[in-house]
Structure 1
């Protein structure tokens, strides 16, 4: 008997594992996955059902491999150079916001809303429908929302993150090789960004505490524009730190034995707030850029104002607070080794005997130990840090 071919093996695996997920959905009276505007945004599989989670991932991986095998090398080598052009245009001209979820619209109405002519609206929207499931056109000329555009309408943060990815990260990606050619093996935080962004946006970046994140005074309009869309720093942190803010941290460190902590680069203080809420013995300090800590302080619950303090601080300058714990979440992956060393050295003057440093980062494992989906996600994050910051996932 002839051995089973890989494509048949994959197709059978897809059928078997899909049936497991389908059975789970039926047992919970959950709707089957779809891309309709009222579809589930994610499949709500409980953490304890590891077999169902594994089945879902197996289907995703097998479908990806089967698609590539059936496509073939020649077609796979065709570069999709128009791929995200329509998505960027949809977001830039707010076409997703031109009508409500549950409603329908026309190319003419979208044209009037956006100021684009009907021909350009039609070609942009149809490109987005066909390539990315943005909108639906079940009846010619009648546009409704899909699950994806409905999600954007309902979540400003999701929309902002996607805009930053397309307007800031994508241009950096296509210039990464140019930056590497100009400065081979550079560890400078701003050299990749200057090459990738300044060429495109004509922005000169400071080599200050934030490199990527600070702009010269004459670029304040661009700064406000970025902040209005979540800003690159916040977006990097959100994209590369998908886990809940303090997952595992509250239950797996002896905070009850401590009295003070400093969250260095702590953004709006979600970690410090979580610690202060659970452990009344703790006094927490959040250090970050001026505007960020100002926003955090403005949002701080009144009941914590005596135990959570926001402070402007450049972590390349000497630490001014003596504490039991210094916490760094998703900080060091933004910097090459020599700068990580400098950040840690600046703690030394403030360190007391017994002080602890917690470094909370994702770790890049050997890719051979991962599933294809996890390996792809891991290496994408690593190359992402290279293209943006000459940094790395360690």
Structure 2
């Protein structure tokens, strides 16, 4: 039974850790967090301010637990079946773009802009205000932006992400259990909630390949131009290697970062024909002698012999049977001592299940199930995956650089 003092413990923790964050804000002359339209979009905590980052995460986790305890199990178990319908409507009818940030509008003006009648605009907007803090109605009938709709109106990447999650991923989640019942324990990427939601017998990638608009939105969803190499550059001995193949490397951001920092490295980026063509067109002239692009399907035999074969967020898109095939297709090209690096999340152990990072990893794991019959993996599953592919792979372990999301999972070829 939970301690009778748990709610007091949590409230004290929230006060203490909030104080740490507030001291940081005050000392750096930053505004107090707000959901007003002109608020900062995120709290600018630098990477090296570990105490402040940990305090912020602790407040978020404690607030979530305290809210659950104060709500109680009977109310907590209720399903919010209208939760995101208003958000989806706002995006579909572009209500967030119906007036500029910093100005105000009316239900009538939003109706004229969208083509929806006034009654439906009013009920959608008020549902979004109450449930999601989208917009504000401080004066009856007068609508202004909140911080959330200001973000949507001003950040196309964020807006697109929400559209993809609601239009593509959410319907797949609704159909996931139906797919599991229809195709028990399937590892096939076309026997999923996504396939059922699309009335199709094709995989998500094949479905997108037939619709350029959906494919472009999906590609934009993963477009993060400022994303770092997530600890890879400073936590792997690149100076002791000469060649690296970035398998499924998209436009080559990781390879470009490695080649830019380590003059000894030559990198080959492999992906689908259109993707590598686009990547090659973006390649800085200074790296054209050390970064090259090659069309290659990783379900076919690897043609390049190299020191390192690198996979970033590839294996979590595939069930075990297909990951084994990917590894086996490396074998004909591998020399003794060559390394395989798999760079992605590892599911948390039971001691860390309550953290925000653990929730993100577990949510991603279910997301992979509903979309592709794929999975995130636990620590103990990685050596077994290499062993099943070929016992000549020697598993070297996994490590997570400080502050990184992904783990560096490594094996050596001893054939």
TM normalised by structure 1 equals 0.88
Q: Contact (CA 8 Å) 1:367, 1:375: kept in 2 or not?
A: no
Partner of 2:101: 101
Distance in 1 (alpha carbons) for counterparts of 2:38 and 2:183: 49
Rounded Cα–Cα distance in structure 2 between residues aligned with 1:370 and 1:75: 23
| Correspondence for 1:68 | 68
User: In the alignment, which residue of structure 1 is the partner of 2:195?
Assistant: 198
Among 210, 213, 217, the alignment partner of 2:205 is 213
1:268 counterpart (251, 255, 262) = 251
- Count the aligned residue pairs: 375
**C-alpha displacement of 1:301:** 2.3
Select the residue among 242, 256, 274 that pairs with 2:239. 256
Structure 2 Cα separation of the partners of residues 187 and 101 of structure 1? 47
Q: 2:217 aligns with which of 201, 204, 229?
A: 229
After superposition, the C-alpha distances for 1:95-125 in whole angstroms (9 at most, x for unaligned) are: 1122222222222222222222222111111
Indicate if the aligned counterparts of 1:316 and 1:346 stay in contact, CA closer than 8 A: yes
CA offsets 1:242-270 (integer angstroms, 9 cap, x no match): 99441322222232333322111111110
TM-score (norm: length of structure 2): 0.84
**5+ long unaligned stretches in structure 1:** 206-210
Determine the C-alpha separation between the residues in 2 that align with 1:66 and 1:266. 42
Q: Evaluate the alpha carbon distance shift between residue 278 and residue 92 of structure 1 in structure 2; reply closer, same or farther with a 3 A threshold.
A: same
- Equivalent residue runs for 1:46-195 within 5 Å: 46-192=46-192
Deviation readout 1:117-164 (Å, 9 max, x if unpaired): 222111111111111111112122222221111112222111111111
* Cα 1:377/1:364, change in 2 over 3 Å: same
Q: Do structure 1's residue 333 and structure 2's residue 322 form an aligned pair?
A: no
- Provide the residue aligned with 1:208 in structure 2: none
Q: Which residue of 2 aligns with 1:16?
A: 16
Most deviating of 8-17 and 66-75: 8-17
177-186 vs 348-357, which moves further = 348-357
Against the structure 1 CA distance between its residues 322 and 148, is the aligned structure 2 distance closer, same or farther, given a 3 Å change threshold? same
* Residue equivalent to 1:39: 39
**What is the CA–CA distance in structure 2 between the aligned matches of 1:128 and 1:110, rounded to whole Å?**
14
- Structure 1 residues 392 and 307 mapped into 2: Cα distance closer, same or farther (>3 Å)? same
Cα pair 2:308 2:339 within 8 Å, conserved: yes
Structure 2 gap ranges (5+): 378-415
**CA apart distance, 1:4:** 6.0
Q: Are the equivalent residues in 2 in contact too, given 1:134–1:149 (CA < 8 A)?
A: yes
Deviations 1:186-215 (A, max 9, x none): 2222211xxx2333333442xxxxx43123
Change in CA separation of 1:8 and 1:252 when aligned onto 2, cut-off 3 Å: closer
User: 2-side partners of 1:35 and 1:68: how far apart?
Assistant: 23
Contact 2:172 2:196 in 1 (8 A): no
1:393 aligns with 2:381: no
CA distance in 1, matches of 2:350, 2:148: 30
**Does the aligned pair in 2 maintain the 1:204–1:215 contact within 8 Å?**
no
Q: How far is 1:12 from its partner?
A: 2.7
The corresponding residue for 1:288 is 271
Structure-1 separation of matches of 2:358 and 2:319: 22
Contact 1:381–1:393 under 8 Å retained in 2: yes
Q: CA deviation at 1:360?
A: 0.8
What is the aligned-residue RMSD (CA, Å)?
Answer: 2.3
The alignment partner of 2:190 has SS state of helix
Question: What CA distance in whole angstroms lies between the structure 1 residues aligned with 2:50 and 2:312?
Answer: 28
Cα deviation digits, residues 303-330 of structure 1 (max 9, x gap): 3333322222211011122222211001
Identify the match of residue 324 of structure 1 among 293, 307, 327.
307
